[in-house]
Chains A and B, each alone.
Chain A
Amino acid sequence: MTDVGAMYIGAGLAAIGIGLAALGVGNVFGSFLEGALRNPGAADGQQGRLFIGFAGAELLGLIAFVVAILILFVVKG
């Protein structure tokens, strides 16, 4: 296997993290909806916390994307 090939495989492996972050983001919104449908009166007050959870889950996926980009464009194969 050449170095360039290994680089592409590494970038592809880093992209797995983005899918895992998708699970996290879905979990955040799914759990929020589940709670919000049981008690719709309290849902509006928790929207800030919803987006904080979303931001935290999303950030880790974006970091996986940054790792993939670094492998592809910064590391010289």
Chain B
Amino acid sequence: MSAGAINPMEQFEVGKLIKFDLLGYDLSFTNSALFMFVVAGLLFVFMLGGMKRSLIPGKWQLMAEGAVGFIDSMVTNSIGKGGKKFAPYIFSLFFFILFANLVGILPLAVVPGLHTFAVTSHITVTAVLAFFSFGIVLFVGLFKHGFKFFGLFVPHGAPLWLMPVIIPVEFISFMVRPFSLGLRLFVAMTAGHILLEVFGSFAVQGLNAGATGSPIGFGVWIASMAMIIGVSALELLVCAIQAYVFALLTSLYLHDAVHLH
């Protein structure tokens, strides 16, 4: 990278690995798709290693059982009665997002040509996940309660004269849910990657400037490296929190659909 020019958006570019056109639609196999397969494969291996069902669980089985138990307790706490049947969906959602986030910040770019792609830093991916959640909420709510599902927009105990105000507000807050779900994950991941890229560029430029005789170059390099370590630790936390929040909010919305308040 030349001095002075930092392009933090370069890392999010989707490139075509295998070109494929179907009836005028571009269905190429991209690096985004590749890393989705990688994430799904990792999740598959993780669960396959943990499903041995031995009486005395090994470390791996303990890990998988802990993961399943964690999602199970979240689902029972937030959906309540009748929530068990959504546990597989919440589990897939949580671990797909978590693995995608973690694969995205793997520092594998030290190997030339190997650049991990953060699948969840694209709104096309997170929006599809969010619309899945929203679609399941709508489907379950309408299937279970029929027309009464729209009682969701009428809070208990609100006076009748407030209805013209409350119903539009509740309707808007309901319709905004999928957008806020998808946007939150996408922006949190994008912001973290931009931050890392900017500090990485500072480190490279500081090192170059120090090597060519600038007095503060090495200082910039050390400070940037310290920031990269700190921001990476923060990003690990954000990865886990965003996956947790996505799964938690989905199960809360499912609670609304199953129980109507």
Interface residues, chain A, with chain B CB atoms under 8 Å away: 48, 51-52, 54-55, 58-59, 62-63, 65-66, 69, 73
Q: Nearest 6 CB-CB pairs, A to B?
A: A62-B187, A55-B245, A59-B184, A65-B191, A51-B245, A59-B180
By the criterion of a CB under 8 Å from any partner CB, how many residues of chain B are at the interface? Answer: 17
B111 contacts chain A at the CB level, 8 A cutoff = no
CB distance from A61 to the nearest CB of B (A): 9
| Binary A-proximity of B183-203 (CB < 8 A = 1, otherwise 0) | 110011011000000000000
16 sampled A-B residue pairs with Cβ under 8 A: A48-B248, A51-B241, A51-B248, A52-B249, A52-B252, A54-B241, A54-B245, A55-B245, A55-B248, A55-B249, A59-B184, A62-B187, A62-B191, A63-B183, A65-B187, A65-B191
Summarize B's interface: helix, strand, loop or mixed.
helix
| CB contact between B183 and one of A51, A62, A73 (< 8 Å): that residue | A62
B214 contacts chain A at the CB level, 8 A cutoff = no
B208 contacts chain A at the CB level, 8 A cutoff = no
User: Contact: B184 with A55, CB < 8 Å?
Assistant: yes
| CB contact between B187 and one of A48, A52, A66, A73 (< 8 Å): that residue | A66
Q: What's the Cα separation between A58 and B180 when bound, in Å?
A: 11
Residues on B with beta carbons closer than 8 Å to the beta carbon of A51: 241, 244-245, 248
